[in-house]
Amino acid sequence: MTDQDVASALDRLEQLLAAPLEFPNAKAVADWHASFKLALAGAERGPQWPALKLRARLLGRQLQRRQALLQEAQRRLKRDLTSFPTSRRALSAYKSLV
């Protein structure tokens, strides 16, 4: 692995973050994370390494913001579902399955 593999992994993260928020793909993010950790473990940490670290930090912050937005949307959805009597039963049934 090289620093270029890390750069490629960051390119893939940028593509994931460019996808609409309405269609999150948790599996794609998990797959990306596994490949990123592998690339990171084998990185050479050459002259371009400081720029790669900065880029990774910035993209990590974007990912955290997206996660916060999705968690807030999930909280709103749960709140909305529990506001209806039949939805409370459905949500309770769903929770027992998960």
Residue 31 counted as domain residue: yes
- Tell me the pLDDT tens digit for each residue of 47-96: 999 999 999 999 999 999 999 999 999 899 888 777 766 666 677 777 77
In which band, very low, low, confident or very high, does the pLDDT at 24 lie, cut at 50, 70 and 90?
Answer: confident
Please report the pLDDT score of residue 35 as a whole number.
95
Please give the model's pTM, rounded to 2 decimal places: 0.76
Q: How far apart are CA 37 and CA 39, in angstroms?
A: 5
- CA dist list (Å): 45 to 6, 37, 41, 60, 68: 10, 14, 10, 19, 31
Residue 82 counted as domain residue: no
Residue 50 counted as domain residue: yes
> Considering Cα of 44, then 16, then 64, then 98, what sign does the dihedral take?
negative
Residue 11 counted as domain residue: yes
Range of the domain at 17: 3-69
Q: Give the pair of three-digit tokens for residue 6.
A: 């890390």
Q: Residue 22 has what DSSP assignment?
A: T
CB 70 within 8 A of CB 61: no
Section 23-37 average pLDDT: 90
Residue 81 counted as domain residue: no
Please report the pLDDT score of residue 82 as a whole number.
75
Residue 88 counted as domain residue: no
Residue 49 counted as domain residue: yes
Section 1-21 average pLDDT: 91
Residue 62 counted as domain residue: yes
Section 8-24 average pLDDT: 90
State how many domains the chain has. Answer: 1
Please report the pLDDT score of residue 86 as a whole number.
67
Find the DSSP H helices in 19-84.
26-41, 49-82
